[in-house]
Amino acid sequence: MSPDTPWVKSSRSGGNGGACVEARRHAGRTEVRDSKDRTGPTLSFGPTSWSAFTTALRTETLTP
């Protein structure tokens, strides 16, 4: 299991008017939040779901 990490802003968030996401590892999961609303809701993904999601992003296989 990966150790917990601090929140990190996406490297792809630059120059888009503040529309940014942050992510961290916490309790064996990956959490994602809106950097403009740090006390707002957080999405939490298990390792398998996060891997499938990021693979789909890299290979552009996401479907609506």
Nearest C-alpha neighbor of 27 from the set 46, 8, 42, 9: 46
Rounded distance, CA 9 to CA 62, Å?
22
Q: How many domains does the chain have?
A: 1
Per-residue pLDDT at 63: 64
Position 42 in a domain:
yes
- Mean pLDDT, rounded, for 32-47: 92
Per-residue pLDDT at 31: 95
9-24 pLDDT, tens digit per residue, is 877 666 666 678 899 9
Supply the range of the domain harboring residue 13: 8-54
Position 17 in a domain:
yes
Position 59 in a domain:
no
Position 40 in a domain:
yes
Position 43 in a domain:
yes
8-state DSSP, 2:
P
Distance from the first to the final alpha carbon of the chain: 31
Position 63 in a domain:
no
Where residue 17 falls (left for φ over 0; alpha for ψ -120 to 50; beta otherwise) is: left
